[in-house]
Amino acid sequence: MIKEGGALVAVAICCNRSSVSGQLQDLPLVSLTEIPFTKWPEEDCDACVRQVAMNTTVGHGKAWLEEHLDPKLWPAYVKHVLHSA
Ligand SMILES: [Zn+2]
């Protein structure tokens, strides 16, 4: 676009999941969609308490599983199952 003489006037975010706002390289950020995600501490993750299989093909699941090899030692499982037994 710039090669053809166009000018950048803004940066668009397709899906803003964390209410990011402001500027990027002096250009205003424009969110086309905002979908806030609920977040919680890892020691309170209900999926970990229930030992739900983690998706390792998107996000940080693979790296997280590499750090937490034994599902019985996942922080939420330890807190809510082992310590409450
Ligand atoms: Zn979890």
Nearest to 54 by CA among 40, 34, 69, 39: 69
Which residues pair with residue 34 across a beta bridge? 16
Confidence bin at 1 (pLDDT 50/70/90): confident
Q: Which residues contact 79 (CB under 8 A, 6 or more apart)?
A: 43, 44
User: CA–CA separation, 42 vs 80, rounded Å?
Assistant: 11
Q: Tell me the CA–centroid distance for residue 64 and ligand 1, in Å.
A: 9
Nearest to 77 by CA among 48, 53, 52: 48
* Contact call for residues 18 and 37 (beta carbons, < 8 A): yes
Confidence bin at 4 (pLDDT 50/70/90): very high
- pTM score above 0.75: no
Residues in the 5 Å CB sphere of ion ligand 1: 45, 47-48
Tell me the pLDDT tens digit for each residue of 18-55: 888 888 889 999 999 999 888 899 999 999 999 999 88
